[in-house]
Amino acid sequence: MNTTSLKIDNTPIILSTGIFDLLKDHIRRRKLSKFNEEKLKLELRYARQVLRKELPEDVVTVDRCVRVKELESGNEFTYKLVAPGKARDKHKTLSILSPIGVAMLGYVKGAKLQWEMPDGIKAYQIEEVTKLN
């Protein structure tokens, strides 16, 4: 596999140590497509780990609202990312372990990324990251 195609943005992702461990466990559980598993392993190899309180405010992590643009269509989506056990449809919240959640974790505002979705590999740009109220 050509790993250069896995990552559009060469900036290392930034993760809290807890999220880093959660993603490593997610890989071990074999919940990802081969493309996404290889991409995530590569990202984790170069990821910068910090304490949760040291995470910059524009990094996608748990308890953040993220506005993202799908580059091919230009469509924008907003996701409220929460811990896996706290995601609720009625609150319009999404688990950080959902496909788009895992794809965006650790990226900062302005970053571009690729992730394999059920309908193929998509390219996204993070437009805005804010704390959930």
Q: What is the pLDDT of residues 56-104, one digit of tens each?
A: 999 999 999 999 999 999 999 999 999 999 999 888 899 999 999 999 9
Q: What is the pLDDT of residue 9?
A: 54
Confirm whether 4 is domain-assigned: no
How confident is the model over 118-132, as pLDDT tens digits?
Answer: 889 999 999 999 999
Q: What is the pLDDT of residue 4?
A: 38
Q: Number of helices (H) and strands (E), helices first, in the chain?
A: 3, 7
Confirm whether 5 is domain-assigned: no
Confirm whether 26 is domain-assigned: yes
Residue 99: which domain range? 14-131
pLDDT at 2 over 50: no
69 contacts 36 by C-beta, under 8 angstroms: no
Confirm whether 81 is domain-assigned: yes
CA distance 85 to 92: 14
CATH number at residue 41: 3.10.50.30
How confident is the model over 14-57, as pLDDT tens digits?
Answer: 999 999 999 999 999 988 999 999 999 999 999 999 999 999 99
Confirm whether 9 is domain-assigned: no
Q: How many domains does the chain have?
A: 1
Confirm whether 66 is domain-assigned: yes
Confirm whether 25 is domain-assigned: yes
Confirm whether 20 is domain-assigned: yes
